[in-house]
Structure 1
Amino acid sequence: MTEPIDLDALLDAMTLDEQASLLSGADFWSTVAIPRLGVPAVKVTDGPNGARGGIFKDGPSTACFPVGIALAATWHPELIADAGAALGTEARLKGARVLLAPTVNLQRTVYNGRNFECHSEDPWLSSEMAVAYINGLQSTGVAATIKHYVGNESEFQRMSVSSDIPERPLRELYLLPFERAVKEAKVQCVMTGYNRVDGTFMADHHRLVTQVLRDEWGFDGLVMTDWMAHHDTVQSVLAGCDLEMPGPARERGDKLVAAVREGRLSADAIRACARRVLQLAERVGSFADPVIPAERDDDLPAHRALIRRLGAEGAVLLKNDANALPLAPQAGQTVALIGHAAVTPQIMGGGSANVNAHYRVSPLAGLQAACPGVKLVHRPGADNHRYTPLMPVPMTVSFWANDHFDGEIVATQTSPNTEIMWFGSLPAGLDPYNFSARTTLRFVAEADGQHAFSLISTGLARATLNGEAVLDAWTNWQRGDTYFTFGCDEVVHHRALKAGDVVDLQVEFSTAVAGGGFGVHALRVGASRLMGEADIAAAVDAARAADVAIVFAGLNAEWDNEGLDRPGIALPHAQNELIARVVAANPRTVVVLQSGSPLLLPWLDAVPAVLQAWYPGQECGNAIADVLTGAVAPGGRLPQTWPLRLDDTVAFGDPAQYPGVDGHVRYGEDVFIGYRHHEARGHAVLFPFGHGLGYTSFEQTGLTLDRTVLQPGEVLSASVTVRNTGTRAGSEVVQLYVHDAASTLARPPQELKAFAKLSLQPGESRTVRLTLDMRAFAAYDVDRAAWWAEAGDFEIRVGSSSARIHQRATVRLLADWREPVGR
């Protein structure tokens, strides 16, 4: 057994400069080592749906798991713990001992660009998933990093916006997943958000980091900033934020030492943060094994199988009239696959969650394997992109060691497509703040029509087409919403081309503008034909001639992306028209949706079956095929309400509440988000929270409570029997909601407080027991600074969604129960 490290003796042996050095990263992904004292570096890597490693794009491949909302859609904590453990193994393969995951910000609005990465609109479901994920991950010796603490519910002005959150919703909603992660899962790291809360940047927020996180909840681990989210040298240390990332130091290092010598900061404050950095290194085993190994790209069969299972367990069958699903196509029949996503698998969202997957199984490939002898015909039908699609050809870039193409070419680099991201992957010897680059590309039009050519860059960029200067992201360059807000907005040029026309592009890039933060740069070149009426007509013809049509519609990682929010929740381009016309041509049409949050479905009444598949990871096509063909029953339930109208959603029509005014976004809806909001206002919804169908039927009966009266402090137990009344195996999620019959505080009509998922064979029944402690009945009372359950009646509601309550029972709390914060 390894002897424990005497951290205090180690700190005593350090100079102030050495202690201060520990409070910033050494580079983009590692902490600082102090070789003379045997202090090791610790490598971290991005999650939450994979372990990427040190190269942002096109590095060693890794397993790509379903995104956060897809994991939560399983409503299966035990399975999520398995996913966490697998991700721990994946992190180890990349030499990392800290995974920057899970993301537990709530889906406050439908606009947030990172809703796909988060678990749910509901704090209990989100926290159940987080606790399971962290327990699984940390069982492998890899530290979890719960993020983004706190109030990071949108991407608009994300580096500076202040989330102004009243104390009650802060406690009841947004802090709860973090609180449970600390108290129940013993999470080892917390990452602060970019945003401010009530005017103070989270990395500098003494009340929330020290008073709440550390003092009230007892968190003894490490707090790190999000990347480039550090602002104040002194205040962040005083707030209890230990580690500035990435490195090298920007606001710390020598500035910290100067602050101590000038009397603005005590040396003890630096020592306290440094101790927690050392403690993390000890907890993850870096002192015992200080070597950071080379990254490996092992493709593990067990992880393949787990990802495939997770994809099916999280797939939500939204509608299934007349048992249109599962499909049973026979040899010799024709199935028309419509939509780009049928052949271009949408496996994940965009931003820091993006990984270089080992492989990507398309729905076409999955269905080919599942349906031998069936003829599969594909037509794209309509566009689904946000930006002009990349050219699927290698792009070789030449570099100069200055920002103005002077002298000799010093390096070259090849990307597998026409996007290159220099996040830890710039050729050796180049200064990430001072280089220029050039590439040439050839585009050949495959069909007549209007074509788009585009540029996006984090520095100056320009391009000529056949010698003509038409793409200018150089003159008057300014930051936009791309590449974590360090890139410009897309610059687009349109021109009509005939099939066979050749366009030669010369593209130039320069760092002669402060675009890329911390020397992080990217260049993206797009070129594609715009789809139109002829493409829809071809898809309709294919559907009409087929026995079954499957339309793959939705979004992709350009819409569900870190750094920018969604403009709305309608399907982009002509996808709604495409679906309506396909189903008119063939009533045997199934729609498979892929998105990271709700969509409006104006054609829903006409389509017999709709499956929401999310972004299910590298086994995308296999998981979808498993569900469509009935090899596996769909196991998912919605973690987020799907509204009937955009107008009905939280913050709609009030700029102060979204996206914000003058740098502040006001959480004026209080505790009423998600289903709480819709139910309190009597809104009809498209699909309620917790909704999901299967290929069998269930009944829930026999709700019993172990007592009908509660003394303050007691635990209530509720039992429910579930029986599979159909002819196929399947799973049911028992959802328990609590309704406060009469409260002094305004409370939602009901709140999820427990759930259980059961898999049952036909005719099988099982009794499940759910327990509720006092917090299940309590609200946060600001005046009392306490959790407060008010004496009176509470209705226990059990059902299969927030809108399908099958049984009710009442329990009476005989006296008020109060728990002051900090206990």
Structure 2
Amino acid sequence: MAKRDIEALLDAMTLEEQASLLAGADFWTTVPIPRLGIPSIKVSDGPNGARGGGSLVGGVKAASFPVGIALGASWNPALVEEIGGALAEEARSKGASVLLAPTVNIQRSAVNGRNFECYSEDPHVTATLAAAYVTGLQKGGVGATVKHFVGNESEIQRTTMSSDIDDRALREIYLPPFEAAVKTAGTFAVMSSYNRLNGTFTSEHKALLTDLLKEEWGFSGIVMSDWFGSHSTAPTIEAGLDLEMPGPTRDRGDKLVAAVRAGEVEAETVRDAARRLLTLIERVGGFEAPDIPAEEAIDKPAHRALIRRAGAEAIVLLKNDGILPLDLAGKTIAAIGPNAEAAQIMGGGSAQLNPHYAVSPADGLRALTSENQLRSAAGVTANRLMPLIPGPFEVDVYGRPDLSGPVVAHQSHPLGEVMWFNAVAPGVADADFSLRATTRFTPSETAEHVFGLVSIGPSRLVVDGRTVVDISETWAPGDNYFECGNREARGTIALEAGRPVDVVVEYRFVQAIALNLKAIRVGVAVPLGDRAFAEAVELARASDVAIVHAGRSGEWDTEGNDLPGIELPGRQDELIAAVAAANPNTVVVLQTGGPVAMPWLDKVRAVIEAWYPGQEAGNAIADVLTGTAEPGGRLAQTFPRRIEDTPVETGDPLTYPGRDGHVAYREGVFVGYRHYEKAGIEPLFPFGHGLSYTTFDWGVPTVDRPAFDGDGLVTVRVRVTNSGLRPGSEVVQLYVAPPASGVDRPVQELRAFAKLHLAPGESAEATMTLAARAFSYFDAARNAFVAEKGRYRLIAAASSAMPRGSVDIDLTREVVEAVRARFVR
């Protein structure tokens, strides 16, 4: 690939042209400069697929991969790198050369709505997998955008909240994944977060974007804002924010040129940002292939197979008394619960996409059973919103806000949910439009039906000529659509089975809602009651094995909202207990984006956590249940017994969810297992926990440099043998326990790991290396990582609570690694 003379291009550009590059052209593309042959490039949302330029619903179909917390549970960097390579192909199929992924924020809270996107509570696991993802993606020619930099560990008031984090916690917990993405993997882009950091918006935080990222870490890529996350002209460009997204510009363009002319911004600052954007275009091949191709839905068999394999490797076997793997021969199976027939494949928000297909857990098992061997019953519901009406919606758009005058545009949308990022129709201004959306609904039973309506702006729902929901005067933003949509409004109407009715939504937009989104959503259902509950329990009683498919969905685990707690929604806990009482062979399959409480744990024979494993969900779950694949996952986030045991949900509103615009990270470095061990609290399942269908024998760990002076690397080796009768994988986790110190340090910290896949009888050696940083804490007073002289214990373990052996090492001198940037002064 011929290298462009970037400096010559910059010399040929006017200030206005340089400034034009520093904001998007529209929602997904950058600004081209045709006279100089500078093309536009396209970005796409990730991180568990490449959605393309469509809205969050509908759009061109795309492959749905396992979500971040599932990849974290795989503890397999090679697998994650392979997925990164596949996602590069997916991004190219959507004409995109930059993917807005991965998400590498830390799972600080048990109830963060976006935990499902993140890898782990631990910075080392997150950093290792982030580097692997970025490497795989960029080897495929697509740029990674590591996000959200930094301190976005909650969705509550995320666009205004200040995450108040001290320098030590930043350096030890929250920054390492970004550092690895930059220094190890060479990420092409970093996305600033919505929130403020210690009072300053991250998009305006010079210590973060310039002092740390660009100067200390040597980052040569671009820093882009999260969508609508830039709030100023001079402060953002001076801080180091290169690209304002989306476009068209609000704070750059003529405003930026004027700021340079007024002496508020140096011309060289604009030139440097433009240089970075041009370098990105070159890195992703934009100059060689300047035309953005049309989006395609390419359902690749290789990607199907990879998603299925990765989904199985991410599944964590939490409990098993020997019932798993299941022998299905001659057995009747009851698939029970709200997630049995529903394919919960991904979380909600900007990570969601329109999948090629979705396999439910019940269908995954049906493929392995004979006719009538498996029966299902939901028993209870677990939805936060009313189930989506099938659609399609026929939409008439009016050029006035009161549904009057001629129809200026007609659209057909396949779903009962419609979202627009930009204008609803060409030439229709947001302030001047209204619309009427109509679909035909045929009830399957004669009953009272509950309809739910969500919209971004005032609306009214009419069913069979009768107003069922009216929020045309009372509408207010609530907990949907990134806090832009109302809390679902519901109404009830009696309908007759088989008699079609018209369902009509009348809607007008309210100008100046955050993110400029427009959306309507209609749901409908006949509520399940005690009869459905009893039928599910009786089905369990009449079956040889009962599998309860419980958990949450992308309505709960979603960008824009945090969870109300860690209990399973609805009556699911009650259902599991009742099924277990009716059938002694009860297995629970959980699908969640984070920890859940399990008051029924001692009543069931086995529990697996399957997360949101992508479009092959049911097949991956069936593979593990039947032993076609082993449960390869280990928890990368601790599961607490109760919410009060967690590091931040302690009842102190300043620590969580925040007070007066500030959330204080008062727990410091004691996040996740570090907290439980310091507090002496036994969790429900510890960090790193996961069972197998086979057994492993571990040798004694050895270290090549028992006396270490801090230069170079220390190598630790542990031999592991599969002593069982089935193939399996083991994760060797290496924790470092510091000597007694005047500094408050965690009991132990994960500093390395290795995953071994072993056949029966096979042995292999886990080889792990440690540098001086692995023995360090961050000393804010000295602004340096400090490894104290003394004796450290290196613990080889199957989880944070299951040591298998240890070896001591003497650090023969103090090692000090000074850094540049400071965040709390």
TM-score by length of 1: 0.97
Give the match for residue 362 of structure 1: 360
Alignment deviations for residues 64-85 of structure 1 (CA, whole Å, 9 cap, x no partner) = 1000000111101001100000
Contact 2:720 2:765 in 1 (8 A): yes
Structure 1 Cα separation of the partners of residues 681 and 130 of structure 2? 30
Alignment deviations for residues 730-782 of structure 1 (CA, whole Å, 9 cap, x no partner) = 10000000000212211111100010111111111112211111010001011
Deviation at 1:709, TM superposition (A): 1.4
Alignment deviations for residues 617-662 of structure 1 (CA, whole Å, 9 cap, x no partner) = 0111110110011000110000100001111112221100101000
Q: Residue 83 of structure 1 aligns to a residue in which SS?
A: helix
1:600-611 paired onto structure 2 within 5 Å: 600-611=597-608
Give the match for residue 417 of structure 1: 415
Structure 2 Cα separation of the partners of residues 78 and 179 of structure 1? 19
Give the match for residue 21 of structure 1: 20
Structure 1 Cα separation of the partners of residues 628 and 639 of structure 2? 27
Structure 2 Cα separation of the partners of residues 156 and 407 of structure 1? 41
Task: Classify 1:160/1:478 alpha carbon distance in 2 versus 1 (closer, same or farther; 3 Å).
Answer: same
Contact 1:55 1:424 in 2 (8 A): no
Alignment deviations for residues 351-394 of structure 1 (CA, whole Å, 9 cap, x no partner) = 00001111111112211212345611111111111111111232
Structure 2 Cα separation of the partners of residues 397 and 643 of structure 1? 47
Deviation at 1:274, TM superposition (A): 1.1
Q: Residue 535 of structure 2 aligns to a residue in which SS?
A: helix
Alignment deviations for residues 532-555 of structure 1 (CA, whole Å, 9 cap, x no partner) = 211110101111111111110000
Alignment deviations for residues 405-434 of structure 1 (CA, whole Å, 9 cap, x no partner) = 121222222222211111369444434553
1:83-102 paired onto structure 2 within 5 Å: 83-102=83-102
> Which shows bigger deviation, 427-436 or 602-611?
427-436
Give the match for residue 733 of structure 1: 731
Structure 2 Cα separation of the partners of residues 552 and 415 of structure 1? 31
Q: Which amino acid aligns with 1:237?
A: I
Q: Residue 410 of structure 2 aligns to a residue in which SS?
A: strand
Contact 1:152 1:195 in 2 (8 A): yes
Alignment deviations for residues 582-638 of structure 1 (CA, whole Å, 9 cap, x no partner) = 111111111100001000011000000011000000111110110011000110000
Q: Residue 629 of structure 2 aligns to a residue in which SS?
A: coil
Deviation at 1:501, TM superposition (A): 7.5
Q: Residue 73 of structure 1 aligns to a residue in which SS?
A: helix
Q: Which amino acid aligns with 2:320?
A: N
Contact 1:330 1:374 in 2 (8 A): no
Counterpart check, 1:9 vs 2:44: no
Q: Which amino acid aligns with 1:22?
A: L
Deviation at 1:121, TM superposition (A): 0.2
Contact 1:443 1:527 in 2 (8 A): no
> Which shows bigger deviation, 294-303 or 435-444?
435-444
1:147-158 paired onto structure 2 within 5 Å: 147-158=147-158
Alignment deviations for residues 299-321 of structure 1 (CA, whole Å, 9 cap, x no partner) = 11111110000000000000001
Contact 1:422 1:522 in 2 (8 A): yes
Structure 1 Cα separation of the partners of residues 590 and 423 of structure 2? 34
Structure 1 Cα separation of the partners of residues 40 and 280 of structure 2? 11
Counterpart check, 1:627 vs 2:624: yes
User: What is the aligned-residue RMSD (CA, Å)?
Assistant: 1.6
Structure 1 Cα separation of the partners of residues 570 and 460 of structure 2? 27
Q: Which amino acid aligns with 1:569?
A: I
Give the match for residue 707 of structure 1: 705
1:616-695 paired onto structure 2 within 5 Å: 616-651=613-648, 652-695=650-693
Alignment deviations for residues 95-146 of structure 1 (CA, whole Å, 9 cap, x no partner) = 1110000000000011111000000000000001000000100001111000
1:559-574 paired onto structure 2 within 5 Å: 559-574=556-571
Structure 1 Cα separation of the partners of residues 644 and 630 of structure 2? 34
Q: Residue 684 of structure 2 aligns to a residue in which SS?
A: strand
**Sequence identity percentage:** 53
Q: Which amino acid aligns with 2:671?
A: I
> Which shows bigger deviation, 694-703 or 147-156?
694-703
Deviation at 1:453, TM superposition (A): 1.4
Q: Which amino acid aligns with 1:739?
A: A
1:736-815 paired onto structure 2 within 5 Å: 736-815=734-813
Q: Which amino acid aligns with 1:805?
A: P
Q: Residue 287 of structure 1 aligns to a residue in which SS?
A: coil
Structure 1 Cα separation of the partners of residues 136 and 438 of structure 2? 47
Deviation at 1:470, TM superposition (A): 3.8
Contact 1:116 1:349 in 2 (8 A): yes
Deviation at 1:477, TM superposition (A): 2.5
Give the match for residue 283 of structure 2: 283
Give the match for residue 125 of structure 1: 125
Q: Which amino acid aligns with 1:9?
A: A
Deviation at 1:468, TM superposition (A): 3.7
Q: Which amino acid aligns with 2:731?
A: V
Contact 1:54 1:424 in 2 (8 A): no
Deviation at 1:449, TM superposition (A): 5.5
Structure 1 Cα separation of the partners of residues 471 and 743 of structure 2? 54
Structure 1 Cα separation of the partners of residues 493 and 811 of structure 2? 71
Counterpart check, 1:260 vs 2:241: no
Q: Which amino acid aligns with 2:11?
A: D
Q: Residue 537 of structure 2 aligns to a residue in which SS?
A: helix
Which 5+ residue runs of structure 2 have no aligned equivalent? none
Give the match for residue 220 of structure 1: 220
Give the match for residue 45 of structure 1: 44
Deviation at 1:402, TM superposition (A): 2.6
Contact 1:151 1:163 in 2 (8 A): yes
TM-score by length of 2: 0.97
Contact 2:458 2:474 in 1 (8 A): no
Q: Which amino acid aligns with 2:34?
A: P
Q: Which amino acid aligns with 1:586?
A: N
Alignment deviations for residues 190-244 of structure 1 (CA, whole Å, 9 cap, x no partner) = 0000000000001100000000111111101100000000001110000111000
> Which shows bigger deviation, 438-447 or 292-301?
438-447
Which 5+ residue runs of structure 1 have no aligned equivalent? none
Give the match for residue 189 of structure 1: 189
Deviation at 1:702, TM superposition (A): 2.1
Contact 1:163 1:667 in 2 (8 A): yes
Counterpart check, 1:526 vs 2:523: yes
Alignment deviations for residues 465-504 of structure 1 (CA, whole Å, 9 cap, x no partner) = 4444341232142222211222222112245667668764
Q: Residue 553 of structure 1 aligns to a residue in which SS?
A: strand
Give the match for residue 472 of structure 1: 470
Contact 2:391 2:440 in 1 (8 A): no
Deviation at 1:340, TM superposition (A): 2.6
Alignment deviations for residues 716-738 of structure 1 (CA, whole Å, 9 cap, x no partner) = 11110101111111100000000
Q: Residue 607 of structure 2 aligns to a residue in which SS?
A: strand
Structure 1 Cα separation of the partners of residues 672 and 514 of structure 2? 36
Contact 2:755 2:766 in 1 (8 A): no
Give the match for residue 67 of structure 1: 67
Alignment deviations for residues 438-485 of structure 1 (CA, whole Å, 9 cap, x no partner) = 123444544465542111111221123444434123214222221122
Q: Residue 617 of structure 1 aligns to a residue in which SS?
A: coil
Consecutive aligned runs of 4 or more in structure 1 exceeding 6 Å deviation: none
Contact 2:430 2:511 in 1 (8 A): no
Contact 2:735 2:751 in 1 (8 A): yes
Contact 2:431 2:511 in 1 (8 A): no
Give the match for residue 137 of structure 2: 137
Alignment deviations for residues 319-368 of structure 1 (CA, whole Å, 9 cap, x no partner) = 001x111111114x321111232111000000000011111111122112
> Which shows bigger deviation, 524-533 or 410-419?
410-419
Give the match for residue 36 of structure 1: 35
Structure 2 Cα separation of the partners of residues 667 and 305 of structure 1? 41
Contact 1:146 1:189 in 2 (8 A): yes
Q: Residue 699 of structure 2 aligns to a residue in which SS?
A: strand
Give the match for residue 492 of structure 1: 490
Structure 2 Cα separation of the partners of residues 255 and 29 of structure 1? 22
Structure 1 Cα separation of the partners of residues 596 and 74 of structure 2? 19
Q: Residue 367 of structure 2 aligns to a residue in which SS?
A: helix
Give the match for residue 272 of structure 1: 272
Contact 2:456 2:510 in 1 (8 A): no
Task: Classify 1:424/1:334 alpha carbon distance in 2 versus 1 (closer, same or farther; 3 Å).
Answer: farther
Q: Which amino acid aligns with 1:675?
A: Y
Q: Residue 482 of structure 2 aligns to a residue in which SS?
A: helix
1:260-339 paired onto structure 2 within 5 Å: 260-321=260-321, 323-331=322-330, 333-339=331-337
Tell me the matched-pair count. 819
